Structures are given as C-alpha cells and as structure tokens.
Amino acid sequence: MCAKVIDAVRLQHWLKEKEAPILLHVLPEESYNLKHLPGAHRATVYEVDFLDQVREIVKDSNRSIVVYGAGFESKEASAAADKLVRAGFTDIWEFAGGLEAWREQEFATEGKADAEERDEPLGGSFRLDLGKSVIKWTGANLTSSHTGTLRFTNGRLQLRQGRLEDAKFQIDMKSLACDDIKDAEINQMLVRHLSSDDFFDVAKYPIAKFQLTAAEALGPGTAGSPNYEIVGRLTLKGVTDQVAFRAIIGQTEPATIAAQGHLEFDRTRWNVQYGSGKFFALLGKHLVNDLVHLHLIILAKLEN
C-alpha cells in the first residue's frame, strides 16, 4: 500500500467537508508555531516518537490523514507518509507541495508572521557563552589516539546584517583535559605531559588566542553545510601563525548564534616538536603525529 497524493486546491475543498481528513504538520514545533495550515495538528517526523505523537492525535488507524511539510523539494512529507503506511494506517495522503504550494494559492494560514517578513538580519556584538562553548581536540600516533577538551576564557563575534565581520577568542590552556582515558592516574599523567614544555608549556603560555582576519561567505548551500571560509591568526606557545578552516554559523534563537568548525593544524609550526618525525629520528613507538584535530563548538549571545 502506498500513500496517495493530493494538491492544494483539492485539499482546501476537502477540509471544508463534513468528513474532513486529519491534517498533520510534520515539521518541528517552531515551524508549526510560525505558520501552519488551518486546523492542522503537529507531529514532527524528525522525532523518534513520531508514531506515538500521531497515535495521540489519531485514535482510528482507518481515518483519512493528510501529511504535509515545507515544500516541493523537501522530503519530510513523503517520509512521514511512508512511516504511517508501514505502521498500519490505511488512508494516508501526501500533500507534497506543503506550505510552499499553499502559499502559491494564497490560501489562509495560522500562526505567527513569516520570519523573513518579521526579522531583520542579526547584527551586533555577541559574547561567548563560556559554559556551552568548547574546543574538542584529538591527537594521535600511528596506532592510537586520545581526545579531550579546552575551554575559552572569553570571546566575541561581530555581525553586520547577518554576516560575520570579526571574531576573537582567548583559550585557557590550563583547562586542557583528556576525556578518553578512564584510569585517573594515567589520565593525569598524559595531561601533565601535554601541559609540560614537551608540548604546550602552559605554565609559561597559559593563554592561546585567535583573531579573525577574513571571513568569506560561501555560495548557497543546504542547511548543515559549511557557509564560511575562516582565516585567522592563532597565537599558541608564543608563536603566531595563520590557520584556515570552514565553519557553519547560524542563528539558533532570536538573540543567539552558534558556530562549529573543524580544523587540523600542524603543531610544529607553533614550536610543539615533541615526538615529531620532522625533528627526531628513530622515534619508534614514541612518534606523535604532527597534525592535531580541533572541533570548535561556539554559542554566543547578543550583548545589550
């Protein structure tokens, strides 16, 4: 059994009939609150309890159900229809055009005004949320790897008309931690080693810094893909050199932005030479890869 397809005009007429179908908006709650078809219920297909949500709304599996999502190109409506058919609901209809097709017909909707009509692009100075922003690091050799975290001491991002203009951060090198070694003694042994002058010499250089020098917005892409090429100066262990990486930057709440970036940097450029094959011979099991992977997770809130 497959779901049947219905268009906007037929759906509008059907919703006026006595035996109208149950209408399901299958996008997240924030989308539903913003705009939904009149009388629609919400059951978010992206959530693991989607079928439970539907069963709370639809008590009879033989009832006619129409599911819809954002538009012609996105697949949430067809995904929802497939799930419902497989779960035993017998009369499933997919309104494939969703909100986009409904808007083209200029039919009425319920909810708040469209965000693009309501909100100006974000601008201003955003201060890092130090409790939720973190750097996750991975260091490795040929046979194993270790992971851990570093915390920020402060940081700001500057946006103008929704575009990144400036960013600067300070990183607390004394916060260096390892999170994959469960034995406390061995864990601390590694942290002391990384904190020593063999590696980052955090007693002498307790703060690392990043200063943005260029932020190039990338071409149109899908949500979840990098949208900026970031270039900046990283100061670490008394050395300043350039790094470049791609990042995803976007708005999560009305006055909050989030950013994530992945970069691999060659530690030897910052005078971190321990175990490097560039400087030492016959290292054997003491070889340490030159590249260190960093995953930056940043949450920042608009300053008043």
**For position 219, what pLDDT does the model report?**
77
**Does residue 18 sit in the same domain as residue 136?**
no
**Does residue 61 sit in the same domain as residue 155?**
no
**Does residue 34 sit in the same domain as residue 74?**
yes
**Does residue 17 sit in the same domain as residue 87?**
yes
Question: How much is the average pLDDT of 44-61?
Answer: 97
Sole residue written with tokens 């309104």: 95
**Does residue 132 sit in the same domain as residue 93?**
no
Contact status, residue 190 vs residue 181, Cβ threshold 8 Å = yes
88, 118, 148 - which closes a domain: 118
**Does residue 134 sit in the same domain as residue 155?**
yes
- Quickly state the pLDDT bin for 119 (edges 50, 70, 90): low
**Does residue 100 sit in the same domain as residue 151?**
no
- Calculate the dihedral angle through the C-alpha atoms of 179, 279, 202, 149, rounding to the nearest 10 degrees: -20
H helix and E strand count, the chain: 7, 14
**For position 82, what pLDDT does the model report?**
97
Pick the closest to residue 129 from 292, 288, 259, 266 (CA basis).
259
Q: How many domains does the chain have?
A: 2
The predicted model scores a pTM of 0.79
118, 142, 170 - which closes a domain: 118
CA distance 213 to 228: 13
> For position 176, which CATH number holds?
2.40.128.110
**For position 113, what pLDDT does the model report?**
59
**Does residue 75 sit in the same domain as residue 144?**
no
Is the pLDDT confidence value at 117 over 70?
A: no
**Does residue 157 sit in the same domain as residue 105?**
no
**Does residue 112 sit in the same domain as residue 129?**
no
Q: Which domain holds residue 285?
A: 124-302
Residue pLDDT, tens place only, 3-35? 999 999 999 999 999 999 999 999 999 999 999
95, 118, 141 - which closes a domain: 118
Q: Where are the alpha helices (DSSP H) in 87-241?
A: 98-104, 115-118, 184-195
Residue pLDDT, tens place only, 189-231? 999 999 999 999 999 999 999 999 999 999 777 878 999 999 9
Sole residue written with tokens 């919400």: 42
